Chains A and B, each alone.
Chain A
Amino acid sequence: MASSPSYDLNRVRAAARADTEVNFGFWAYLMSDVVLFSMLFLAYVNLSQRFAGGPTPADIFSLHGVFLETMALLASSLTFGLAMVSLHQGRKNHIIGWLLATAVLGIYFLWHEVSEFVHIIHEGASFTRSGFLSAYFGLVGTHGAHVFFGLIWIATMIAQLAVKGLTPPVASRLARLSLFWHFLDLVWICVFSTVYLPGILAGGSS
């Protein structure tokens, strides 16, 4: 066992349940985030054909890059799941390990997204170019910002695990971070199927 049994594992497990009071509150917050993203999807779908004579999705998206990005994020959901399995086993160092793996995949995703943004902007397709591009950067950027805050949160939790150990409050926070991270994955799947797939399909092969 990696960590000392100075805490009660049953209390740790109970704190990580999805239906505790504080975790229920986080579900309620996630519902508000669902609406927030819905509005951005609405904006994107509404503006997605308003090119103002500028580039179209097929001109700027590359399915190849997005595929790698997507796989990284999906894999990060798996690694976070494994972190939660370790939590239920009470293995602190395993949790830290899986959280680090999640963070690496998340950083790869974010790095990829930022370089894609930089590339698109360099091609003269900045968010000021057209309604379509504003909506694209707005939606994908908001998701990216969420991932960024998720990464800060992961770093914080790694620090708390190291300093405090696997206490019930730490386990409770990990449970919420887990909800948050899986939620971002879910949103990304919607982004992929709303933004990239139709955009590329409409313009023929990439």
Chain B
Amino acid sequence: MFGKLTLDALYHYDPIIVFANVIMIGAGVLVVALLTYYRKWGYLYREWFTTVDHKKIGVVYIVIALIFLLRGFIDAAMVRGQQATVGAGGEGYLSAAHFAELFTGHGTMMIFFMAMPFLVGLMNIAIPLQIGARDVSFPLLNAISVWLTAAAGALVMISLLVGSFSEAGWSGYTPFSGLEHSPGPGVDYWIWALQISGISTTLTGVNFVTTILKKRAPGMTLMRMPMFTWTVLCTSILIVVSFPALTVALALLALDRSVGTHFFTSIMGGDQMMYINMFWLWGHPEVYILVLPAFGIFSEVVTTYCNKRLFGYTSMVWATMAIAFLSFGVWVHHFYTMGQDPLRNSIFGIATMVIAIPTGVKIYDWIWTMFRGRIEYKLPMLWTLGFLITFVMGGMSGVLLAIPGADYKMHNSLFLVAHFHNVLIPGTMFGLLAGFYYWWPKVFGFRLDEKWGRHSFWGWLVGFYVAFVPLYMLGIMGMPRRMVTYDNPTWQFWLVIAAIGAIIVAYGIFSMFMQIYVSWRDREKNADLTGDPWGGRTLEWAIPSPPPEYNFAVVPEVRDRDAFMEMKVKNRAYERPAKYEDIHMPKSTPLPIVVAALSFFFGFAYVWHIWWLAGLCVLGTVAAVIARSFNDETEFVIPASQVQADEDAFHARLKQADVFTYIDGIQEFGDERTPAGQYVSPTSRATSGAPG
């Protein structure tokens, strides 16, 4: 009846896990109780669980990301704590099994449930607005994607309570992740969490490729797309082309584990290296899936806060595409030491180093954009500068690792761990946090607090260096990654410093949550009346904050790369038509949460081999999708009068903020040729509640 699931699954050998469960269940009960007490379930269901609005979906993604940022960070902090306190030859406070679950969980959660949802959340929020669209191409599919991600995250969460999580590392190498070496439910939880979130991501990729190629406002040619849109296009293509490799690798691994096939086993004709190749055929493009949109965010931030056009737009576009293309030709560098001949290693080594060239182009483009710009040191600009300096270091250590001969010394050492954190934290995390601050007022209608934001920035930046420079040292000193204990006493000094770094990062994360709280508390003071708090250059700033459900009352006409800036210069910003028209928007639907719930139970059932339940879930999903396909009444109409009323209110706010005087003052695009005298600082103008 219940497959392999027995009450033993609830028994935990480790009091720390019991404690974590108490916290998790307590938090869950508290949230449910509060929602019930304040009677918010109806509101949540109507406005969030069933919505297909890309802006709200974006927010849900980011909420998921922030929850898993905390969980992933706690795992990292526990790993750091173990290594700092264990001492040479000691036992430490963690068992080897629990330690392995922690580093597996940390990597899995940070990549799949923090970075990816955060990124997709920002994509959801910004892309339709940047291209002048009213929603993505497939709003329902988009909602299915977000709730599938939530379902996958729930599988990771429940593994803490029922059974255990994988101990095989975030990359789950065979044969260790095979049944023989990992007989427990942990790897199965890992497989299905990744599988469900991977399918969600594939659907997102399909959705955004279509949205960007098919839904742009008239006049927005490919070479007029904002840089963030370009990078998201490249990322979406990478998603569509690379995620199926992960899907297949995980599916075949699941078959090996559940029905006894021999794809990746080390006996009976299986090939364990095939798993590793397949995994990195996805895994390396994944690195660029994560980093390219962050590059796009930095491009938006640099142009906005330097009040200049992007330097070398065309080169930036080609560099993005070159990186996307090259990302498929370097996967072998993840396993130089695993037996290929030197020629093959050399080819992949050279291909890897070549990626540094387009990346360098981008770095110079950002520097030249800043050059002679009027830089406003707002928080996103700080993230960008922190990124530039830190990321170049990480890139350099990457070029070092790309040399197969050197890699033989560094492979699976803490040098590698330091390297990829050194590219992913500034390259992805800093970009995400810059975008978080940059687009926050667009979504919620008020700005984020600058002071706590700066605390967060310095916490992250200083904490990063203190935590990871020691890992470079330790790597060179020969310390392998993933050690629950060690016998070299000289390592501990550096590990203690790294742990201090983790504490400083914790302050950065704490400050970010404080920033959200303080900004929400002072939301009246920080209100963004105009929808254009930063003197923006792209279309998302041409509409109110928060935007109405339909985004654009009238679909804008694009005449320039910096579409909204052109409107301001030519004095055609906020132009109103003679008459508004009815707008058709997609209806809310419970289908996405139904599909997500069925996926969750399918994953859970597969983990515990409860086959009847898994079968029912598949049947249910197919039935739900077919039933939905019979429904052609999927849209509703927002009447022109409603649009007119919204726009009247918006224009009243614009007048109140004296925007039109400000626009009259803008004569130039603000490139480096602009005479200093004509310059009007967009954020120094008279809007209410200019940030301090």
Interface residues of A (CB under 8 A from B): 21-22, 24-25, 28-29, 31-33, 35-36, 39-40, 42-43, 46-47, 50-52, 54, 127-132, 134-135, 137-138, 152, 156, 160, 163-164, 167, 169, 173
Q: Which residues of B have CB within 8 Å of A127?
A: 255, 259-261
- Tell me, in angstroms, the Cα distance from A40 to B261 when the chains sit together: 14
Question: Could you jot down 5 A-B contacts, CB within 8 Å?
Answer: A25-B214, A29-B206, A40-B248, A138-B263, A152-B622
B245 beta carbon closer than 8 Å to chain A: yes
The 3 closest A-B pairs by CB, nearest first: A131-B269, A50-B269, A39-B248
Nearest-Cβ distance from residue B5 to partner chain A, whole angstroms:
24
- Tell me, in angstroms, the Cα distance from A114 to B189 when the chains sit together: 31
Q: Which residues of A have CB within 8 Å of B137?
A: 21-22, 25
Residue picked from B138, B210, B215, B626, most chain A C-beta under 10 Å: B210
Interface residues of B (CB under 8 A from A): 137-138, 202, 205-207, 209-210, 213-215, 240-245, 247-249, 252, 255-256, 259-263, 265, 267-271, 274, 278, 281, 622, 626, 629-630, 632
Nearest-Cβ distance from residue A35 to partner chain B, whole angstroms:
4
- Tell me, in angstroms, the Cα distance from A42 to B244 when the chains sit together: 13
Nearest-Cβ distance from residue A60 to partner chain B, whole angstroms:
15
Q: Which residues of A have CB within 8 Å of B269?
A: 47, 50-52, 54, 130-132, 134
Q: A32-B244, A130-B269, A131-B270 are in contact. Are A25 and B263 (CB under 8 A)?
A: no
Nearest-Cβ distance from residue B276 to partner chain A, whole angstroms:
12
Nearest-Cβ distance from residue B52 to partner chain A, whole angstroms:
15
Q: Check B244–A128 contact: CB distance below 8 A.
A: no
Q: Which residues of B have CB within 8 Å of A40?
A: 248
Q: Which residues of B have CB within 8 Å of A21?
A: 137, 210, 214-215
Q: Which of A35, A42, A156, A164 contacts B241 (CB 8 A)?
A: A35
Q: A24-B213, A36-B248 are in contact. Are A131 and B268 (CB under 8 A)?
A: yes
Q: A25-B137, A39-B249 are in contact. Are A137 and B202 (CB under 8 A)?
A: no
- Tell me, in angstroms, the Cα distance from A131 to B240 when the chains sit together: 28
- Tell me, in angstroms, the Cα distance from A127 to B243 when the chains sit together: 25
Main secondary structure of the interface of A (DSSP, over half): helix
Q: A47-B263, A52-B268, A152-B622 are in contact. Are A28 and B206 (CB under 8 A)?
A: yes
Q: Check B271–A47 contact: CB distance below 8 A.
A: yes
Q: Which residues of A have CB within 8 Å of B626?
A: 152, 156
Q: Which of B210, B261, B263 contacts A24 (CB 8 A)?
A: B210
Q: Check A39–B263 contact: CB distance below 8 A.
A: no
Nearest-Cβ distance from residue A57 to partner chain B, whole angstroms:
13
Q: Check B261–A25 contact: CB distance below 8 A.
A: no
Q: Check A128–B241 contact: CB distance below 8 A.
A: no
Q: A21-B214, A156-B629 are in contact. Are A137 and B261 (CB under 8 A)?
A: yes
Q: Which residues of B have CB within 8 Å of A167?
A: 632
Nearest-Cβ distance from residue A190 to partner chain B, whole angstroms:
16
Q: Which residues of B have CB within 8 Å of A31?
A: 240-241
Q: Which residues of A have CB within 8 Å of B138?
A: 22, 25
Q: Check B242–A134 contact: CB distance below 8 A.
A: no
Q: Which residues of A have CB within 8 Å of B260?
A: 127-128
Q: Which of B207, B262, B271 contacts A46 (CB 8 A)?
A: B271
Q: Check B240–A32 contact: CB distance below 8 A.
A: yes
Q: Check B630–A160 contact: CB distance below 8 A.
A: yes
- Tell me, in angstroms, the Cα distance from A98 to B174 when the chains sit together: 47
Q: Which residues of A have CB within 8 Å of B215?
A: 21
- Tell me, in angstroms, the Cα distance from A66 to B82 when the chains sit together: 59
- Tell me, in angstroms, the Cα distance from A49 to B674 when the chains sit together: 69
Nearest-Cβ distance from residue A45 to partner chain B, whole angstroms:
10
Q: Check A32–B205 contact: CB distance below 8 A.
A: yes
Q: Which residues of B have CB within 8 Å of A54?
A: 269
- Tell me, in angstroms, the Cα distance from A130 to B265 when the chains sit together: 10
Q: Check B241–A32 contact: CB distance below 8 A.
A: yes
Residue picked from B202, B206, B241, B262, most chain A C-beta under 10 Å: B262
Q: Which residues of A have CB within 8 Å of B206?
A: 25, 28-29, 32
Q: Check A138–B629 contact: CB distance below 8 A.
A: no
Select from chain B the residue with minimum beta-carbon distance to A141. Answer: B255
Nearest-Cβ distance from residue A155 to partner chain B, whole angstroms:
9
Q: Which residues of B have CB within 8 Å of A32?
A: 202, 205-206, 240-241, 243-244
Q: Which residues of A have CB within 8 Å of B214?
A: 21, 24-25
- Tell me, in angstroms, the Cα distance from A134 to B265 when the chains sit together: 11
Q: Check A43–B274 contact: CB distance below 8 A.
A: yes
Q: A32-B243, A39-B245 are in contact. Are A131 and B263 (CB under 8 A)?
A: yes
- Tell me, in angstroms, the Cα distance from A40 to B281 when the chains sit together: 13
Select from chain A the residue with minimum beta-carbon distance to B210. Answer: A25
Q: Check A28–B629 contact: CB distance below 8 A.
A: no
Q: Check A130–B248 contact: CB distance below 8 A.
A: no
Residue picked from A32, A54, A173, most chain B C-beta under 10 Å: A32
Q: Which residues of A have CB within 8 Å of B202?
A: 32
- Tell me, in angstroms, the Cα distance from A11 to B632 when the chains sit together: 15
Q: A25-B137, A131-B271 are in contact. List 15 more A-B contacts (CB 8 A).
A: A22-B137, A28-B209, A29-B206, A32-B202, A39-B249, A39-B278, A42-B278, A43-B263, A52-B267, A131-B263, A132-B269, A134-B261, A138-B255, A138-B261, A167-B632
Q: Which residues of A have CB within 8 Å of B622?
A: 152
